[in-house]
Amino acid sequence: MNENIIGYAASLFIVVSFIVKELRMVRIINIIGCLLFVIYGYLLNQNWPIIIPNAILLFIHAYHLIFVPKQLTK
């Protein structure tokens, strides 16, 4: 498998997330892009400068999707 395809797909998802206007969809699309970048970094012999920031961003977006809407409705 050519890992560059995963890298290009990840980049595409990140770019598309900047086009979408609804914040919830931005986060969902960005989570997919970040997850693909984590996989891509792993396939590139565990390239930590790619894996670490994207894993952190993935968890930040997931946190906001799960917990922040609940806090806003209280």
Q: pLDDT digit of tens for each residue in the chain (74 aa)?
A: 688 999 999 999 999 999 999 999 999 999 999 999 999 999 999 999 999 999 999 999 999 999 886 655 45
Residue whose pair of structure tokens reads 């894993």 in the numeric block: 55
Domain that holds residue 28: 3-73
Number of folded domains that form the chain: 1
**Per-residue pLDDT, 2:** 87
Calpha distance 54→12 (Å, rounded): 14
Calpha distance 74→33 (Å, rounded): 31
Q: 26 CB contacts (<8 Å, ≥6 apart)?
A: 17, 18, 20
Calpha distance 74→7 (Å, rounded): 40
